[in-house]
Amino acid sequence: MKRRNKQNPSVEMRPFYVKDIVWLKEMVKQVFPDRTTSEWRSIMSRKRKKGVQLYFLSRGGRGLGGVNVTAPFNSPT
């Protein structure tokens, strides 16, 4: 009898968009102080203007967390 390898879905990095603010707010509410959606939006806008690229990690459509990638001179690499 052949054994099947049960493979888990791979982890994906997808870019952070402004529409993800509500999801971000819910994800970090246990760690960070309670902020309004507009406060989170301004924080993320400042980070993007500094050249930080923001990504969400997800597996199978379920969010796992976020990651900041510092990119000098707004470079995509």
Q: What does the domain layout of the chain look like in residue ranges?
A: 18-74
- 24 by Cβ neighbours in 10 Å (0-12 / 13-18 / 19+) ranks as buried
pLDDT at 71 > cutoff 60: no
- CB atoms inside a 10 Å sphere around CB 60: 10
Q: Residue 26: enclosing H or E segment and its boundaries?
A: helix 21-27
Closest listed residue to residue 14, CA positions, set 50, 44, 73, 59: 59
Query: In whole numbers, what is the pLDDT of the chain averaged over residues?
Result: 75
pTM above 0.75, yes or no: no
Q: What is the mean pLDDT of residues 38-42?
A: 88
